[in-house]
Amino acid sequence: MNSDNVKKGIQQAPHRSLFYALGYTQEELSRPLVGIVSSWNEIVPGHMNLDKITEAVKQGVLLAGGVPVVFPAIAVCDGIAMGHEGMKYSLVTRDLIADSTECMALAHQFDALVMIPNCDKNVPGLLMAAARVNVPTIFCSGGPMLAGRLGNQRTCLSSMFEAVGAYHAGKMTEEEVADYERSACPTCGSCSGMYTANSMNCVTEALGMALRGNGTIPAVMSARLRLAKESGMQVMELLRRNIRPSDIMTEAAFHNAEIVDMALGCSTNTMLHLPAIAKEAGVKLSLDMANEFSAKTPNLCHLAPAGDSFMEDLDRAGGVWAVMAELDKKKLLDTSVLTATGKTLGENIAGAKNLDHEIIRPVDKPYSQTGGIAVLKGNLAPDGCVVKQSAVAPEMMKHDGPARVFECEDDAISAITAGKIKEGDVIVIRYEGPKGGPGMREMLNPTSAIAGMGLDKTVALITDGRFSGATRGASIGHVAPEAALGGNIALVKEGDTISIDIPAHSIKLCVSDEELEKRRKAWVCPEPRIKTGYLARYSKMVTSAAQGAILQ
């Protein structure tokens, strides 16, 4: 066992004395040490219940003969960080989480790990750490929030952000917005739609690193506590059989995860996180591959913001395993892969049933024959950009319009709320990429303002930043190369025509090559917005969004 390096032998006498200082007994030191990585805190609604999940996981580990040892991981609430400087600090925590967890796990020589994430960056950060550390590991998230309710209408966080846009458009009063804000987020848990947190927790299940229900059992359900205990017990079985992340997170498993992502209609942020996790696992997963997966994968689910169903509905319908069972009817998945159950994917889903064909469409009657995400390319984004096509109105799948150019998100929000954006416009927000932001802010404020004002079927938004999973409409992010690297998005001028064709995977700035070259010669890269602290270091190390914004 790894922990023998800190527990056994005369040379480890000083180490044992420190364990005794912690109150451990000789009996405990004879058993495996299982690190419990808890991202509990009191500022993220999706994490406020993780103390209870952590205690349940500990009970499971104890029941199976291990010694649980808890240590923390940080977490940022993307909703609270949205729309101000704090959002620069969201994506960057993914690497902090991965680095700090790797440090803690290897410094203390844990034999196995249970990861307890819930929200956006904790899940990929801990998956990256799991791949690096490569000891038997299982994931157990905190679970999704229940949908809110206002009268007979169900609500969620994306409805809340859009209500602000409706207020600025004169469609809602301040009192009506206040009613919404008290109703949209009624419980603890990751926000109730197929946003990034729930997308990544479902993808973790599809990847094989978690037990059934990890992505969908609501946070407030007792079944979530049972899942936590079962996960604690199961990690001891993985340890006994020496099943490691490298045995589970294979190339075939990542391909499965991408296909399930497409079927569920997950957040565009998965296009940043899956390549980053895959790299740590020694698997190449490029942005270019996304369209290949999408082309053969039917979109089976339209959860908020793409539709009016929520995570609790997906759970009731059979969850991720039911979706995978539908996909297996067309042999779209490699069912031979090993999973955290200790069984193959095929064995796992053999008895899974789709219990609600409205929530999970049958594979032969999908919402669309192609997946939820599309990668577009053209002279505006030679290395690619990403759109959640399942949440785009049909009339915006093809769109030509004049560019309305903004050098940062804040300027764009001001223009939108002041009524300066007109039908047909293509909003361009630049210098918000991984390096230029720095930190690649999510743009839920401008996209929800557009939707709330009723412009989501006539206005597109393009950025080298990224979008919340709660975003809907023709919102195209991750434009690469980004403006700060001299990408062509930096050369767009007010009034230029931009042509978008999502079915053709095309995005074009309708300006001649000669004119672009003339503009490039006159372009000067702006001074970095932040010159000190972690963000300054991050800006120097981060790569393109097309590479998953990994650090080098």
In the chain, what's the furthest Cα-to-Cα distance? 76
Q: Under a CB-based contact definition with an 8 Å cutoff, are residues 232 and 58 in contact?
A: yes
Measure CA of the first residue to CA of the last residue in the chain; give whole Å: 32
**CA 105, 109, 115 angle in degrees (round to 5)?**
35
**What distance in Å separates the CA atoms of residue 10 and residue 16, rounded to the nearest whole number?**
10
**What distance in Å separates the CA atoms of residue 101 and residue 78, rounded to the nearest whole number?**
21
**Given the residues 159, 190, 294, 468, the one annotated as active site:** 468
**What distance in Å separates the CA atoms of residue 86 and residue 77, rounded to the nearest whole number?**
10
List strand residue ranges (DSSP E) for 112-186, in order. 112-116, 137-139, 148-150, 153-155
- Tell me if residue 190 is catalytic: no
| CA distances for 550 relative to 90, 96, 434, 441, 443, angstroms | 14, 12, 9, 15, 20
**What distance in Å separates the CA atoms of residue 342 and residue 210, rounded to the nearest whole number?**
11
Contacts 24+ apart (CB under 8 A), 517-525: 519/491, 519/493, 520/486, 520/491, 523/486, 523/490, 523/491, 525/484, 525/486
Q: Under a CB-based contact definition with an 8 Å cutoff, are residues 479 and 445 in contact?
A: no
**Cβ within 8 Å of residue 316, ≥6 positions away:** 355, 356, 359
Q: What single-letter DSSP state applies at residue 528?
A: P
**What distance in Å separates the CA atoms of residue 429 and residue 92, rounded to the nearest whole number?**
20
**Which residues are part of the catalytic machinery?**
468
